[in-house]
């Protein structure tokens, strides 16, 4: 089953601009994670935000979580060519299983 749904499906921006992508989910969660997938490094964990947190930062990444709206956003500031990748949100549905969205494909134009 697909819990998280990313929006937009694809995003193309100029290098240096900020990129924002969103994730919506259906059921109550304890945690939400964001992952990045590119051809060079495969699928890599970026950041985890817990349900009692509203915002979290990691370098150029900022994640917000709104449990009342069942949504999260990932902001990448000052984008670089290396940020070109697909970005996935994953939510915990059970004690062990993560449910993944279909991803946002981000293209950074030089």
Q: Is 52 in the site for other proteins (CB under 8 A)?
A: no
Tracing tokens 């990045």 back to the chain, one arrives at 36
Please identify, using beta-carbon distances, which residue of 29 and 76 lies nearer to other proteins.
29
Q: Is 80 in the site for other proteins (CB under 8 A)?
A: no
Binding to other proteins (CB under 8 A) within 11-30 occurs at 30
Query: How are the residues of the chain apportioned to helix, strand and coil, as percentages rounded to the nearest 5?
Result: 5, 60, 40
Greatest Cα-to-Cα distance within the chain, rounded to the nearest angstrom: 42
**Which residues lie below 8 Å from residue 98, measured CB to CB, with a gap of 6+?**
33, 90, 91, 92
The region of 13-21, 66-74, 77-85, 87-95 touching other proteins under the rule CB under 8 A is 87-95
- Determine the Cα–Cα distance for residues 103 and 21; give it in Å rounded to an integer: 9
- Determine the Cα–Cα distance for residues 105 and 67; give it in Å rounded to an integer: 24
Please identify, using beta-carbon distances, which residue of 79 and 91 lies nearer to other proteins.
91
Q: Is 88 in the site for other proteins (CB under 8 A)?
A: yes
Smallest separation, CB 28 to other proteins (Å): 13
Residues that bind other proteins (CB under 8 A): 2, 4, 30-31, 33, 42-45, 48, 50, 88, 90, 92, 94-103, 105
């Amino acid at each position: 089953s697909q819990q998280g749904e990313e929006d937009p499906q694809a995003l193309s921006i100029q290098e240096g601009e900020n990129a924002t992508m969103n994730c919506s989910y259906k059921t109550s969660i304890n945690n939400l994670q964001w992952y990045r997938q590119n051809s060079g490094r495969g699928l890599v964990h970026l950041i985890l935000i817990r349900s009692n947190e509203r915002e979290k930062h990691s370098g150029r990444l900022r994640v917000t979580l709104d449990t009342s709206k069942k949504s999260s956003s990932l902001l990448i500031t000052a984008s670089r060519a290396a940020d070109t990748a697909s970005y996935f949100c994953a939510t915990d549905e059970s004690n062990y299983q993560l449910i993944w969205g279909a991803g946002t494909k981000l293209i950074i134009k030089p």
